[in-house]
Amino acid sequence: MRVKIFADGARLDDMLAASKSGMISGLTTNPTLMRQAGLTDYAGFAKEVLAKITDFPISFEVFADDFPTMERQAREIAAWGKNVYVKIPVTNTKGESAVPLIAKLAKGGVKLNVTAILTLAQVRDVVNALDASVPAVVSVFAGRIADTGRDPVPLMREALEICAAKPKAELLWASPREVLNIYQADEIGCHIITVTPDLLKKLSLKGKDLAQYSLETVEMFYRDAAAAGFSI
């Protein structure tokens, strides 16, 4: 496949396993995943990951809500390693656009991963703010778009065309819901897709014989009923 797979998560063992799998090209995480993993030392965790994974780009996200503090955090995170991308949300919690900060950081050479994008207007504003000479990732949450009953594929196609204005900007299909999304992203030429450990494991099912898969499913139901000791 042409699409690059980035492992998404915040458990060190999973991240290390993914980095050694031969299947990924980068990694991402975010404060929500880190909290779910029970982490409390943000910088300590990030630096431990970066000490062990040096040959893949890794995105770490700011968590401030005001832009001056967000900028300070972004510059601190960027200093942690040459393979670091700084995740900046497209707005703060007040709905105020982060585009001015994105432009300032990009102009200063900070590699950004602009996140939580769901509209084409946001894609246009972000791409316009990026520096053509600095690598960047534009993360569109296609899975969340699909959750609303909208087909994300046409939107992602158009987002790709917008990103073409900045050759070093890569479009990322974020929040996939199923393995099919990986193939959809690949088909339209999306540059990157984030994949959780459970979806990464399912990639081995590509091309699997459906009759055999049906039999294995029946066998699973039988084993589980027997193990539960069900009777009628």
Which residues are catalytic, by number? 87
Task: Count CB neighbours of 123 within 10 A.
Answer: 25
On whether the CB atoms of residues 74 and 88 are closer than 8 A, the answer is yes
In which region does residue 4 sit, left (phi positive, over 0), alpha (psi from -120 to 50) or beta (all else)? beta
Q: Which residues contact 48 (CB under 8 A, 6 or more apart)?
A: 12
Q: Which two tokens stand for residue 147?
A: 């959750």
Number of H helices, E strands in the chain: 11, 8
CA pair distance 131, 153, nearest whole angstrom: 26
List the beta bridge partners of residue 59: 28, 85
Q: What DSSP character marks residue 97? A: B
- Give buried/exposed letters for 15-52 (b at 16+ CB in 10 A, else e): beebbeeeebebbbbbeebbeeeebeebeebbeebbee
* End-to-end Cα, the chain, rounded Å: 49
On whether the CB atoms of residues 173 and 194 are closer than 8 A, the answer is yes
